[in-house]
Amino acid sequence: MRADLEREARRLRGRLVDQLVDDGLPLDPGWRAAFEDVPRHAFLPWLFEQLTNGRWTLITEDDPEWLRTVYRNRVAVTQLDGDESRRESARAGPVVGTPTCSSSMPAIMAIMLDALDVRTGDSVLEIGAGTGYNAALMCHRLGEHRVTTIDVDPAIAARAAKHLAACGFHPTCAAADGARGYPANAPYDRVLGTCSVSTIPLAWVEQTAPGGHIVTTLNRQIGAGLIKLVPDGERHATGRVLAEDGRFMPLRAHRGPNVNDLVDRVRGAQAPQRPTDLTATRLLRSAEQFEFFAGLMLPHVIAWSGAHGDTWLAHPDGSWACYSRHSVREGGPRELWSIAEAAHEQWRALDQPPRERFGLTVGPEGQEFWLDRPDSPHRWPLD
């Protein structure tokens, strides 16, 4: 039975890898072999699947669909609301919750591993051990002694270590707050953040060898993105926003404003309606090149769809805007839609730069995005 399962799992892994390659994802021979050999199912003995009503249903090894579900090119959620007991509750029926741990979508893993640009012998720190699957891919490629993976949640870190060991990998796998990096094994040649950050923790810059790489995602609802930085060994790092978009669950201390709080605060807000040429799609769809630039002008702004097909924006300072079919209402201390419209004008005047024309400089004095060159006059703070 077990042999049949392993054979079927290998077949499904091969199919997943073919799909990643067909989709144009970067998989050099080393990462291809890792994805083909490392059994994702060993890290996902259960997972939560979201139903159309937003609730989560539990899928376990006993479910006939389990293996096929594990080997889809999809994120696999393994914890809700940081609450380990939710798994037990879900045995009785679907539950509500916000994901706090998952095995990331294989496509985005492939993109980030490629961006990491590892060489044989490199040491890597991964922030966000999660299920341990990504760490296992890195152990396969670099050797277990070159990999350190940490998770803020001790239960998650312990489970990741157990599943890694079951696959024959024994990297350093510890419970620790990734905002501080992990000094014990520093310096690292590569640092990979698999939970998103609002700003780049300076500890990551300090713990990466000069000329090494830091790859992570930004935790912003508008204008999130994948970032690759190269530290200079003097507490500074410079790098680029990557062309691919990537959105991850946030590092716990870097969670953004709570959308439910903002929804409650703007409920019933009134303001006169006016026409607008800027559409919600243009502003918020990441495939629209403007979205990244808009995020530079609208930090900490949250967007959501209202009950009547309208689109809301809100900021914790009380500013809000509600867009519906070429018209908008806005109120609070700042007019968010007007800011977005001005940003759109500026973006056009700058020749509509896509996300990969932006870069980032990080240092003890602050963090700043720039356009095209680190000394560009066009700069925006990241805070």
Ligand X SMILES: C[S@@+](CC[C@H](N)C(=O)[O-])C[C@H]1O[C@@H](n2cnc3c(N)ncnc32)[C@H](O)[C@@H]1O
The residues that are catalytic are 104
The Cα 296–Cα 12 span in angstroms is 41
DSSP 53: T
3-class DSSP state for residue 358? strand
If the CB atoms of residues 203 and 297 are measured against ligand X, the closer one turns out to be 203
Is residue 276 within 8 A of residue 328, CB to CB? The reply is yes
Strand order through the sheet with 76-80 = 56-60, 46-50, 76-80, 99-103
Distant-in-sequence, close-in-space partners of 291: CB < 8 Å, separation ≥ 6: 222, 223, 283, 284, 285
Nearest-approach distance from CB 306 to ligand X, in angstroms: 28
The Cα 378–Cα 12 span in angstroms is 48
Q: Does 156 bind ligand X (CB under 6 A)?
A: yes
Nearest-approach distance from CB 266 to ligand X, in angstroms: 28
With tokens 């060994």, the residue in question is: 233
DSSP 357: G
Applying the rule CB under 6 A, the residues between 250 and 309 that interact with ligand X are 251-253
Half-sphere exposure of 366 (CA within 13 A, CB side): 8
Nearest-approach distance from CB 201 to ligand X, in angstroms: 9
CA neighbor of 152 nearest in space, from 258, 253, 40, 48:
253
If the CB atoms of residues 255 and 348 are measured against ligand X, the closer one turns out to be 255
What's the alpha-carbon Rg for the chain, to the nearest Å? 22
Q: Does 71 bind ligand X (CB under 6 A)?
A: no
CB neighbours of residue 85 within 10 Å:
9
Q: Does 131 bind ligand X (CB under 6 A)?
A: yes
Q: Does 116 bind ligand X (CB under 6 A)?
A: no
Q: Which stretch binds ligand X (CB under 6 A): 152-160, 227-235, 284-292, 374-382?
A: 152-160
Applying the rule CB under 6 A, the residues between 188 and 217 that interact with ligand X are 194-195
Nearest-approach distance from CB 126 to ligand X, in angstroms: 6
The Cα 339–Cα 326 span in angstroms is 16
φ/ψ region of 37 (left if φ > 0, alpha if ψ in -120 to 50, else beta) reads alpha
Q: Which stretch binds ligand X (CB under 6 A): 26-34, 129-137, 274-282, 364-372?
A: 129-137
If the CB atoms of residues 174 and 340 are measured against ligand X, the closer one turns out to be 174
If the CB atoms of residues 32 and 329 are measured against ligand X, the closer one turns out to be 32
Q: Does 319 bind ligand X (CB under 6 A)?
A: no
Q: Which stretch binds ligand X (CB under 6 A): 171-179, 230-238, 350-358, 363-371?
A: 171-179
Nearest-approach distance from CB 135 to ligand X, in angstroms: 7
If the CB atoms of residues 125 and 339 are measured against ligand X, the closer one turns out to be 125
Number of residues that bind ligand X (CB under 6 A): 26
If the CB atoms of residues 180 and 282 are measured against ligand X, the closer one turns out to be 180
The Cα 194–Cα 124 span in angstroms is 12
DSSP 185: G
Nearest-approach distance from CB 258 to ligand X, in angstroms: 16
If the CB atoms of residues 35 and 133 are measured against ligand X, the closer one turns out to be 133
Helices (H), 195-289: 202-206, 259-266, 280-284
Among 106, 128, 181, 223, contact with ligand X (rule: CB under 6 A): 128
Q: Does 223 bind ligand X (CB under 6 A)?
A: no
Among 31, 182, 188, 248, contact with ligand X (rule: CB under 6 A): 248
Q: Residues 29-67, buried b or exposed e (16+ Cβ, 10 A)?
A: eebeebbeebbbbbbbebbbbeeeeeebebbeeeeeebb
Among 101, 161, 200, 339, contact with ligand X (rule: CB under 6 A): 101
If the CB atoms of residues 177 and 368 are measured against ligand X, the closer one turns out to be 177
Q: Does 127 bind ligand X (CB under 6 A)?
A: yes
Residues contributing to the site for ligand X (CB under 6 A): 100-104, 127-128, 130-131, 133-134, 150-153, 156, 177-179, 194-195, 248-249, 251-253
